[in-house]
């Protein structure tokens, strides 16, 4: 009996030592008096985040760590962590996702001295978030399959082009209930048409060509890339990456395209508040934005940034008059109705 107790006790001791080791490893990173560390939550591409943060470390001497998840996953996580936030900045992703967690008290407003350099349209009126890029919506077209199915016709350039009966079952799109990208597509129709009935009518016709709605906003570009669909609807920068990788894709940005503002915000109560401000100032500056645009092919909100080859300047695009306030306010109603009609 004694032997057993000794064994159990030493086992327990060993275990707690091991656990203390592990917890100490994690906890040490939360304590930061000097603010020479920064924890970044970002939905951008792994590549871009790594390279941007390397430049940031070089410029400021602040060490960084990042976690990459989808914008929706990060939003859920930031809200759930509210009592003890693990991240300092929410870097990238549509402004709507940032907007959605403001009422939860998850973000801290910060007016960067750099904010004045960009148009006031590109940040929150109270500076809960600041935009650093703009991305238009585009069609990812599988060139081989398009030529086969459409006899070499020109690539689609309007939303109406997607209604062609020859594209039945060939358009990939995400569900607006799951994806911010897809909600942007749906909301765009309400800004293109005068009446809501017309918008619903368009969505109903589009639905005939969409075999199913994916749960991930990035999946449609993937489906077009691998030929599972002829067209995938996604943000232009999400299409250009697989194009670069060698997939047989073409990008078409339709007339009256929807667009997103990519935002950065500071998480309320994060462990390194001053480093977070340094980061926001840094990313809103022209050098960091140029690097981001070069890496991602997204369109910068900063007027001094040069467009990379292949990307269309914002001014030359035919964008729909996207009303973010309206889109945010009507989101649950529209998604509910959409679910009733198409799910």
Partner 1 sequence: MSTVTPTLDNGKRSRLTGVVSAFKDPTTIIAIVVVTIPLAVMVLYPVVNVLVQPAIEHWQTFFSRTRYLTTLRNSLVMAALSTVSATFVGFCFAYALSRPNFPGKTFFRVTSILPLISPPFVAGLALILLLGRRGIITHGLLGVDVSMYGWHGLWLAQTMAYYPIAAMTLSGVLKSLNPTLEYAAQDLGQSRWGIFKTVVLPMTIPGIAGAALLVSMLSLSDFGNPMVIGGPFRVMAVEAYVQVVGMQNLGMAAAISVVLLVPSLLFFLIQRYWVGRRQYTSVSGKGGGLDPIELPTAVKWALFAFLSFVSLFVVAIFVVIVWGAFARTWGFDWSLTLDNFEFTFLARLGHIWNSVRFSLAAGFGTAVFAVIAAYVLLRKRFVGMKAFDFLVVLPAALPGTLVGIAYIFAFNRPPLVLTGTGLIIILSMAIRNVPVGYRTALAGLQQIDISIEESAADGGANTFQILKDITLPLLKTAFTVTLVYTFVRSMNTVSAVVFLVAAGTNVATTSILGLSEHGYWGEAAAMATILIAITSSVVIAFRVLGGKRLFEL
- What are the backbone angles phi and psi of residue 127, rounded to the nearest 5°? 65, 35
| Binding string, residues 132-151; x marks residues near partner 1 by CB under 8 A | -------------x------
| 339 is a site residue for partner 1 (CB under 8 A) | yes
Q: Is 238 in the site for partner 1 (CB under 8 A)?
A: yes
Residue 42 near residue 91, CB atoms below 8 Å: yes
Q: Which of 56, 66, 129, 133 binds partner 1 (CB under 8 A)?
A: 66
State the Cα–Cα distance between residues 246 and 225, nearest whole angstrom: 9
What is the rounded distance in angstroms from the CA atom of residue 91 to the CA atom of residue 107?
A: 12
Smaller CB distance to partner 1: residue 280 or 319?
A: 280
- At its nearest, how many Å lie between partner 1 and the CB of residue 76? 5
- Write down the least CB distance from residue 116 to partner 1, Å: 31
Tokens 């940034």 correspond to 305
Nearer to partner 1, 221 or 280 (CB): 221
What's the gap between Cα 240 and its chain centre?
15
**For the packed helices 180-192 and 331-342, what is the interaxial angle rounded to 10 degrees?**
100
Smallest gap from residue 89 Cβ to partner 1 (A): 12
Candidates 148, 160, 212, 326: give the one binding partner 1 (CB under 8 A). 212
Nearer to partner 1 (CB atom), residue 45 or residue 115: 45
Part in contact with partner 1 (CB under 8 A); list of ranges 118-126, 127-135, 240-248, 322-330: 240-248
| Span interacting with partner 1, options 176-184, 255-263, 273-281, 312-320, rule CB under 8 A | 176-184
The b/e string for 157-195 (b: 16+ C-beta within 10 A; e otherwise) is eebebbbbeebeebbbbbbbbbbbbbbbbbbbbbbbeee
Question: Interface with partner 1 by CB under 8 A: which residues?
Answer: 1, 3-4, 8, 18-19, 22-23, 25-27, 29-30, 39, 45-47, 50, 65-70, 72-73, 75-77, 79-81, 83-84, 86-87, 100-101, 145, 175-180, 211-216, 218, 221-222, 225-228, 238, 241-242, 245-248, 332, 335, 339-340, 343
């Amino acid at each position: 009996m004694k032997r057993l107790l000794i064994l159990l006790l030493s086992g327990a001791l060993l275990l707690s030592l091991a656990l203390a080791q592990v917890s100490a490893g994690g906890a040490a990173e939360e304590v930061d008096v000097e603010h020479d560390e920064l924890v970044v939550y970002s939905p951008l591409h792994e590549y871009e985040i790594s390279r941007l943060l390397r430049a940031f470390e070089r410029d400021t001497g602040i060490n960084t760590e990042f976690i990459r998840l989808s914008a929706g996953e990060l939003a859920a996580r930031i809200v759930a962590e509210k009592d003890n936030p693990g991240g300092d900045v929410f870097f990238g992703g549509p402004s709507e996702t940032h907007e959605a967690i403001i009422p939860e008290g998850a973000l801290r407003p910060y007016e960067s001295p750099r904010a004045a350099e960009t148009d006031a349209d590109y940040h929150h009126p109270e500076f809960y978030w600041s935009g650093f890029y703009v991305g238009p919506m585009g069609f990812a077209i599988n060139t081989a399959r398009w030529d086969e199915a459409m006899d070499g016709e020109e690539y689609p350039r309007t939303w109406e082009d997607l209604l062609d009966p020859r594209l039945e079952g060939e358009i990939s799109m995400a569900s607006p209930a799951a994806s911010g990208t897809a909600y942007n597509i749906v909301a765009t129709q309400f800004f293109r048409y005068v009446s809501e009935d017309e918008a619903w009518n368009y969505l109903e016709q589009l639905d005939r060509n969409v075999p199913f709605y994916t749960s991930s906003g990035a999946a449609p570009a993937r489906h077009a890339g691998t030929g599972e669909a002829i067209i995938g609807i996604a943000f232009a920068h999400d299409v250009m990456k697989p194009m670069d990788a060698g997939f047989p894709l073409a990008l078409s940005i339709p007339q009256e395209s929807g667009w997103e503002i990519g935002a950065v915000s500071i998480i309320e109560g994060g462990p390194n508040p001053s480093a977070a401000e340094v980061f926001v100032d840094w990313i809103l500056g022209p050098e960091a934005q140029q690097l981001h645009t070069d890496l991602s092919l997204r369109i910068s909100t900063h007027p001094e940034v040069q467009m990379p080859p292949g990307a269309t300047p914002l001014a030359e695009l035919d964008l729909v008059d996207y009303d973010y306030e309206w889109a945010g306010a009507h989101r649950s109603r529209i998604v509910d109705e959409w679910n009733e009609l198409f799910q």
